[in-house]
Amino acid sequence: MTRTCCKADSSPTGSRPRTLPPALLSAGARRLGILALLCAFANVGMGVGSRLLGAHLGLPPPSGTVLFAEIAAVAASLGIFALTRRTDQDPAELLDRGLVYEVGMGFLIAVAYHCWPAPPGQMPKGWSPVAVWLVAFALLVPATRGKNFLATVATALMDPLGLMVSFALGSPAPPALVVASMFLPTAIAAAAAVVGSRVVSELSEQAGRAQELGSYRLVSLLGRGGMGEVWRAEHRMLARDAAIKLVRGGTDHSGRELMARFEREAKVTAGLRSPHTVQLYDFGRSDDGAFYYVMELLDGFALDEIVRRFGPLAPGRVVHVMRQVCHSLAEAHAAGLVHRDIKPGNIFLGRYGGDPDFVKVLDFGLVKTLAASGADLTQTGLIAGTPAYMPPEMALGRAVDGRTDLYALGAVGYTLLTGLPVFERATALETIHDHASTIPIPPSRRVATPIPPGLERVLLDCLAKEPHERPESARALEARLAEIRLPEPWKREDAERWWNRNGGQTVRAASVPGPASEIDPEGTRLTPPAAAAL
């Protein structure tokens, strides 16, 4: 389920975003992880060092309260670090959790510091490490003005609270003037942190205005891959949400190839008009050189998610879905284009314009023209496409045509019907080999659910090894699907009941850009793309 990440002022006159720009959010999340890891190591090092020094000076060992605070600080720091390593984390939500972590760490630092036993007759300690923590966090982890102010004040108040804990445990209370002087450095550090936060906030707002993409503002992160991101966006003037696919390519060959693929995807998608092909609104380059395009924001599920969460589809529904995909592919094939990556993750099912179970085909990033030669389809060490749905001619590096997509669509239908891939193998290379040379087991022999013979025959024809043995075109396949006798056809009322029961849980838009799959030099395994579909 998507979460709002980078909400901007939606009013046309709004000139100041309410939160930080996406680039600063991502950078801040990374710095939060680094800071948390350093804090964990510092707590361990200082705890061990202080105990060794105390033993050398003959001081009593620290109480269990100090040990608890130290362990809690290390655990909290490692937990935050682990969260920042997860690729599915919303940076804005992560930074909000970071502010809670700042306050909690302020309390634990203060308790460990003030409850540490002092030499007999020595007055309470001077300024505490909370002051350093306040400044370090404000400078390294960005936040909006309001949030930073509240977190800074709350963290500063943890210092006297830690001293009160030490009093409750039996430490002598010093004179009020001494207590006030103890917390003067913390108060100064809090003021510096607030001022520093305002400076960072102003710079962030300037960066946010500079990074608006065309007429759109980024709102929330939908997914992140190895080379790019997909964001929910809003038009600054129109009441229309959209999805923005953003990629920053490197200067090496792979980076240039990715950028070329991304630009090709935008141009190809913009030229297609089938209602079952995702619609593209705009594309271009941002001020920092990133390439982006804006597409319609879809409400629903990708087919792989539907199978994973709800199980196999009814035969009538499989036919209903496949016919709509054929509509999209027919237009692309008529324009001389082959999709080359038809798979459940690139087929989106949702509610569209009041119609339930409406299909959208996504991700034309691997599209090739029918005029491309077989040598153009693969590169040394690279395989385009997805192993579980890879047609034999792509696995063997041969020329492709529209029937290549029909093979992959047959594999999709097989999975939708059974919940299983056509070939279940331990490695991707074994899967590719089976697609190239192994006859698939009929789906009726793999599941107990009755499968209409006509549908099974169509799927197996699509999965023929030789292209000329498959349906000759997407339109021909759609016609054969329409002729299948189904004991229980999928009706609009069925779709409406399903969506009323299960819909509205996910908003997704497109595949996250990532590098092509690679086979290692020994050819023994396939390394998957750095980013899978959303």
The 10s digit of each residue's pLDDT in 31-49 is 899 999 999 998 888 888 8
Alpha carbon of 286 to those of 208, 279, 290, 512: distances in Å? 12, 21, 5, 18
Nearest to 109 by CA among 145, 146, 77, 150: 77
287 is catalytic: no
User: Whole-angstrom Cα distance, residue 44 to residue 52?
Assistant: 12
State residue 379's pLDDT score.
Answer: 44
390: how many CB neighbours lie within 10 A of its CB?
A: 26
Mean pLDDT computed over 74-101: 87
User: Whole-angstrom Cα distance, residue 231 to residue 218?
Assistant: 6
User: Whole-angstrom Cα distance, residue 96 to residue 90?
Assistant: 10
User: Whole-angstrom Cα distance, residue 425 to residue 441?
Assistant: 14
- Cβ contact 417:425 at 8 Å: no
Domain 300-527 fold is: Transferase(Phosphotransferase); domain 1 (1.10.510)
Res. 121 pLDDT band, cuts 50 70 90: low
**Global pTM value:** 0.61
Tokens of 149: 């102010």
State residue 286's pLDDT score.
Answer: 73
Residue 331 has pLDDT above 50, yes or no: yes
Collapsed DSSP state (helix, strand, coil) of residue 273: coil
Q: Which of 159, 341, 405, 434 is catalytic?
A: 341
User: Whole-angstrom Cα distance, residue 62 to residue 93?
Assistant: 36
Domain 216-295 fold is: Phosphorylase Kinase; domain 1 (3.30.200)
User: Whole-angstrom Cα distance, residue 460 to residue 439?
Assistant: 9
State residue 7's pLDDT score.
Answer: 32
User: Whole-angstrom Cα distance, residue 138 to residue 115?
Assistant: 26
Q: Which of 6-15, 151-160, 332-341, 463-472 has the highest mean pLDDT?
A: 463-472
Spell out a b/e string for 481-515, using b for 16 or more CB atoms within 10 Å of the CB, else e.
beebebeeebeeebbbebbeeebeebbbbbbbbbb
Backbone phi and psi for residue 360, each to the nearest 5 degrees, phi listed first? -130, 130
> What is the full DSSP assignment across 36-51?
HHHHHHHHHHHHHHHH
The 10s digit of each residue's pLDDT in 339-357 is 989 999 999 999 988 899 9
Q: Checking DSSP bridges between strand 228-235 and strand 382-383, what pairing results, if any?
A: unpaired
Q: Where are the beta strands (DSSP E) in 236-271?
A: 241-247
Res. 10 pLDDT band, cuts 50 70 90: very low
Domain boundaries, the chain: 22-210, 216-295, 300-527
Backbone phi and psi for residue 417, each to the nearest 5 degrees, phi listed first? -80, -35
Q: What is the mean pLDDT of the chain?
A: 80
Residue 368 has pLDDT above 80, yes or no: no
Alpha carbon of 321 to those of 10, 11, 132, 357, 483: distances in Å? 36, 39, 59, 8, 15
Residue 312 has pLDDT above 60, yes or no: yes
Backbone phi and psi for residue 387, each to the nearest 5 degrees, phi listed first? -55, -40
Answer with the residue of higher pLDDT: 477 or 44.
477
Tokens of 15: 């000139």
Residue 466 has pLDDT above 70, yes or no: yes
User: Whole-angstrom Cα distance, residue 420 to residue 350?
Assistant: 22
Residue 306 has pLDDT above 90, yes or no: yes
- Cβ contact 338:401 at 8 Å: yes
